[in-house]
Amino acid sequence: MKKITFTTKVQNRATKLIPALKNHPYKDRLKACNMSTMHHRQVRGDIIGTYQILSGKYDTNVVPHLKTTGIQATLGNDLRIFKTRFKYDLRKFYFTNRVVDAWNSLSNWIVMANSTNTFKCRLDIYWQDQEIIYDFRAELQGTRSRSLLLLVCVTLTITGQPRNSVFIHRV
């Protein structure tokens, strides 16, 4: 995380060197330069790496073990990864734990791509409206637990609020 923070500071200063963008906010400078945040690049790289591991593009002797659940669910994808719980925070930021929520939120259309380039294209289309692309403080949206979505649906029927407004705020 320290490397991302340092690189973000460097990227911030580098975009200020462009005279026409000097006084604009960082988010606007990134959009004008067609660049994404370092956090977005890390998450995207992790997801692409996960696809390559699960599709067998890497040697199975050297890659981390990602245990798939094998549950055919209506939400998410058929290659859902099992999230391991830990007593201590020691493994909280390991690759195998970092990718689970983001990977499980992807649809089958993305995960069942034939090639890595097709997967990248579909992932970019799926994430094109994410705030994380240009806002370094944002988190990836839509990766929360499905039980939270169920809770929101129950709240909708009881309170009678419009469905879309609640999902925008909660997910």
- DSSP single-letter state for residue 133: G
My answer on whether 8 and 66 are in the same domain is no
Over 30-62, what HEC string results? HHHHCCCCHHHHHHHHHHHHHHHHHCCCCCCCC
My answer on whether 41 and 95 are in the same domain is yes
pLDDT confidence bin for 155, thresholds 50/70/90? very low
As for how many domains the chain has, the answer is: 3
As a whole number, mean pLDDT of residues 123-146 equals: 78
Range of the domain at 155: 141-171
pLDDT score for 143: 66
Higher pLDDT, 61 or 117: 117
Q: For residues 95 and 52, is the Cβ–Cβ distance under 8 A?
A: no
CA separation for the pair 46, 82 (Å, rounded) = 16
For residue range 9-67, what is the model confidence (pLDDT) as tens digits? 888 889 899 999 899 998 899 889 888 888 899 899 999 999 999 888 888 778 777 87
My answer on whether 14 and 41 are in the same domain is no
